[in-house]
Amino acid sequence: MKSATLFLFSCVMMLLILNTVQEMEGQKVRKCKITNVWKEDGRHCTGDAKARDDMCIEAFAALKTIVTNCTCDETSYPDLTCNCLADSLCLLCFYVCFTLASDPDPIQDFCIPKPMTSPYQDHHLSTNLPCKNSSEVTTEDFVFSGLKIAGNFTETGFATVPVSPANFPGLNTLGLSFVRADLKPGSINPPHYHPRATEVAHLVKGRVYSGFVDSNNKVYAKVMEEGEMMVYPKGLVHFQMNVGDVTATIVGGLNSQNPGIQKIPSVVFGSGINEELLMKAFGLSLKQIGTLKKRFDPVMANEH
């Protein structure tokens, strides 16, 4: 809601400023219809869509006394109006309203989810579970001891202990998750990114080469020493490599309870992308692509 409120405030200010400029220049303000947008998306201002898009409808209705003259046809709310200086601006405001997304703000002090009763529940999204009665909540619900020891190491010398509401109920609805990562000397955490979260990594022990790459392909990396922290902006590829002589330990915090993770090698060579495309993209032979797919494609790996 904070993001939606900020956007709507900015949108209103933009409309008012541009409206003033056009009036000063004596230009005629054009009307634009937003109902075609509803139709193209299969949504209308009535029926189930009204409930589904309640936030957007209420937001526009709240602004109708400030901005006027944008029309809707008979399938829309007849009193839903806004002053649209151009079709593009009208569409921009409309679509962004539907694309705003983040972990929801809590509406109570805490929500300790009840134990799962269905195997189909998403373990990372405990917000879809009912909360325990406050009389059933204990201090232990807010304490997690699972980061004391490392997880199980892979053949490459990398181990993780993910922490989410699934194994730490006290995190539920707080928009947070954590991870402990341990790397044996020379091992790596391959390039990856979290599509829904920014991460802050604290190096507890060891020496680690750590960094990320921005959208201009510029790398920001250094060898971190014990006690140092690094932030990886949301959605940017980042990585770690143990360059020390002892097992390194990193504790990361993420600002989403379901940050998601996509590891670049697995995404590229383990997802079933057309082999010819990969050959052309990387300048590799079919045999080389096949070798990489055998390593990163879980289906092919299990066949060999």
Annotated binding-site ranges for oxalate: 189, 194, 199
Burial string for 38-58 (b: 16+ CB within 10 Å, else e) reads beeeebebeeebeeebeebbe
Give yes or no for a contact between 83 and 68, defined as CB atoms under 8 angstroms apart.
yes
Q: Which residues are annotated as a binding site for Mn(2+)?
A: 192, 194, 199, 238
Q: Which residues are annotated as a binding site?
A: 189, 192, 194, 199, 238
Q: What is 88-100 written as a DSSP string?
A: HHHHHHHHHHHH-
Give yes or no for a contact between 165 and 122, defined as CB atoms under 8 angstroms apart.
no
Q: Please report, for the chain, how many H helices and E strands are present, in that order.
A: 9, 10
Give yes or no for a contact between 151 and 160, defined as CB atoms under 8 angstroms apart.
yes
Residues 6+ away with beta carbon under 8 Å from 231: 198, 199, 200, 201
The token duo for 146 is 């699972």
Separation of alpha carbons 294 and 205, rounded Å? 34
The token duo for 132 is 């325990």
Q: How far is CA 90 from the centre of its chain?
A: 26
Q: How far is CA 112 from the centre of its chain?
A: 23
